[in-house]
Structure 1
Amino acid sequence: MQTGHVLFFFIFPVVLEGCCVGNHQKKRTGLMGLQQNTTHQRYRAVEGESFIMPCVKSESVVWSRIREDGGNEGPSYDCEKEFPAEVKHSGNYTCHTGGSKYFLHLQVEEKSSPSCFQPEESTVELYNSAGGEIPCPRYDCSNNTDVTWYKGNRAVSEMKRAPCEKDGLLHLCQVKAESDPGVYFCDRQIIEQGVMWTFRRAVKVEVIPYSEPSGPLRFMSPADNATEEVELGQTHNLTCKVFFPYEKRISAKVQWFMNYNGNKENMTLLPMEPPQYGFKIREEYGVTRRAIIKEVTQQHLKHTYTCIASNTVRNNSVTIKLKKKTTVKLPCLVGYPLVSFLLVSGLGIILHVKWMELQLIYRSHFQHGKHDEDNKEFDVFLSYVWSPPSAEGERGWTFSSGSGPNTDEEAGCPPSMDPLNSEEGKATQKPLQVLLPQVLEEQWGYRLCLLERDVLPGGAYTNDVVLTIQRSKMLICLLSADYLCNSDAVFVLESGVQALLQNSAIKLLLIWTSRDSASLIQQDPPLPTLVQRALKVLPSLNWTSGKPARATCNFWRSLRKAMPHHRVKLVSDMQDQSLNGYI
């Protein structure tokens, strides 16, 4: 027995001095340092510090606030979650686990309480891969030197590492950056007025790289002797970004200077924004600082600019210059090609969509007469549909005589050569379908082809139409609502358009007898697409019956100009001269 006492007193001092050899902190079980059979406990915390409710038998429990009448009033606190302690958290709590009920009384001391409850510096920085110590705040306020340490809700003594506790300090033999940072809690027992309390304090541990500011200063930007482009009259920012070796107390300084005419001995400190710290990379931290040139002038281009970075060990610098930015005008390099491309593309699209109309315009206005027309049997192929007379039409077919305010003489049209100025025209009311053949054949001497008169019956209508168009110099269609609703008449017009597109020497003229009424008619079935597009671009005249004599005279003059040249004169020289004056 005595031998055992001797060995104990021999080994104990050695253990205290070499606590990092093994895990010698007393292992605690039960209520975070309390005996398992203890169901009533009292905890104290300091206002403003982190606090965590104790777990029971290493099991996670939820503590609920007890009202004065014995019921739970909430809020509830999980023993695995930290929260900042406030005076309002003081009170009685209860939890259930393993069939047992536990009670806890929490008292949060205000910051203005006696010195033992004053909050103090509760953050400790430890160097990575080195040994370190974590002190328990206000350790000297109690004669009880027995301190139990926890990281979160887990006792440090239960961790697989080599810590030990001595004189209220938690000794860590080797600090690890991946596992040791966090909040640690130290519990110690204090007795006041015969009541035992567990006084819990919190310490935040940060792990920092173990190095001194001995490495080089690395400039990320700008590069030394670089040139930055600026715009005259605009604001420009000079940005300097530097990486410094990590140091516990930052002494990094970054400044911008302007060197007049490139002379580094004559430097002026530039206006700067406050430095920005951060972006730790491994064992370095960065500092960014910007200098502001409110308005760049020509004078700024003559100077150089130096960024000087320094700490307690060394300093370094980079120098840059400014040059006028070459303004790349969009119209020069991008605009002109882009506009040209869009223009060509637009023209291509228009040509693709409007190609047929363009062909019709060209062939009907510029190509007629380029082919040999001597083998044509007819001068004009006239296509029309008989329409019932209307009141307006009847009025239009009553022509003026030589007397009255709107005579041909007043309209500037020679009365002797007016096709309507005949006794037959005055006495008879004739529609244009009757009048036009008389004028073309009898007065103007053209060889006219009418299907009902000049084409032998019994043949195929389509073949007769196509052959007649091929044998004619010109196709004239008298358009009206009835014409566009007649499939046979529309076929004649469509065949004429196709002949015109096939490099035929035929000339095509449209005469609208009632354009307004035709535009209001919805054809069923609708007109062929070829016809619809041709109606928009082919040469056309409007029959102006019922209008002033001048308008009627202009119609005949325009029609005479549009007619092809005929080889046989059927009119006298006097008539020909009068016609030329009339036209």
Structure 2
Amino acid sequence: MMPCFGAVSRLVCSRTGGGAAGLSFSCGSDFLAEAKHSGKYACRSLLSSGSDLFFHLQVLRRSEVSLGCLQPEASSVALRADVGGTVSCPGLRCSNNTNVIWYKRNKAVSEQRRSSCQTSGSLQLCQVGTRDAGLYFCDRQTPERGVIWTSRRAVNVTVIPGEASSPPRITYPYGNTTELVEIGRPHNLTCEVYFPFEVNFSREVLWYKSNGSNMETMTLLLMEKQQQERVSFHEFKVVRSAVIKQVTPQHLKHRYTCTASNAVGNRKSSVELTHRINVKRPSLVVYPVAALLLIAALGVVLHVKWLEIRLIYRSHLQHGKHHGGEKEFDVFLSYVWSPSAALEAGVTLRSPAGPDADEDACLSITDLNPEESSATQRPLELLLPRVLEDRWGYRLCLLERDVVPGGAYTNDVVLAIQRSRMLICLLSADYLSNSHAVFELESGVQALLQSFDVKLLLIWTSRASASLIQPDPLLPTLVHRALKVLPSLDWTSGKPARATSGFWRSLRKAMPDQTLLSLTQNQNHRILTP
């Protein structure tokens, strides 16, 4: 990729000289370098009528060693997320010149808003994130026969999660399950397992059968090839089925066990088979054509929209049926710092917080007085915890504050949601592009589908651009479909309090019943600390 010179963009460079027709490229666009690209080029801006820029490009073949530091093999590096990482410039050790300029695609790393530093020509990333993946270039000055050349090498950087720290989790069968079978018919036993990411693949799912509870007589079953897909940045889903070609009465005496293991540990879950009695019913000979079409149409709609129907049913059925004494927390708050909130948090969170902190702002919000409130000018990530805890008296769970560091992230998130009566997610473009935040939302949706004890509320902090959000990586199917039907509220920062008073009323109505909070508030009271 040839860089754009200075602040000039939209440059098109064409090779000059004989036999060079058709060889051209735009600055900032990557291309596969070939020997035919060597030569002199003239670059002209498409946006201005200024003079042309000229440069000479030399592409070296793999067999050429005119620059002694050339390393012909392609360079790539895999960095672990959430820790520091180093990207080395290929061939740098062969030269005494460590003055290297690093680019991510066509923009210098030094001009990008991220924590990084260069050490002896290498690019040191203080904390690696998914956004750091991509194509990098390192430029350094190389003298060759009295001419100073700019030597440019490409490095492809990929980002992978940290090594697995927990065993897999089996979602089906869960515990000891019973399945109905028909004698004389084939039957498949299916095991669905979620594995944390591993660099060295060790994910394995196996089916065994045993005589009742005697696990010493376990024998391996005939199985299909296991199917796997990556469902998030941190997890893989593996499905494997065992095949019973024909069910006999003898199969009803066995216990079938699914085992899942990785480098950290293993899990197991069992299935027992129960005989299904077939009842023959007289068949109906004539069906009206209209009835057939109606039933078929309803079946298709239910099949396609079954997940959305379940989410709508559960999210509305459990409204008002929370039990305050059964949960440690009232609300698990999931959010990602926006740039404005992160900037203000550096000042606000260091000031004393308590009953008198931000008194005017919080009182105006609680009283819903649009004429006096000024707190709506603050980011919701800062404002909402203070209103929920300090003013409304709810017990709030924040991962960075209420979860002990050092545990497995996925287990901490699932356990925190199970210990909460309600999950509130502050959605934005940054949120839907953050793998950790999406995992928290996905875990909440799964908890909603499996239990009636948790309520889920979405708050869009940038609804105007929600339809234009294209998260990278793409959202899991479960999250994408849940966003369409789950209860949600809209928040727009910077608006006068009169325009946002309706938001606070709607939020108060959606919160768990506060009449039961007094029974446990003396035991679980929290004060927001700096």
Measured against the shorter chain, the TM-score band is 0.3 to 0.5
Q: TM-score, length-normalised on structure 2?
A: 0.48
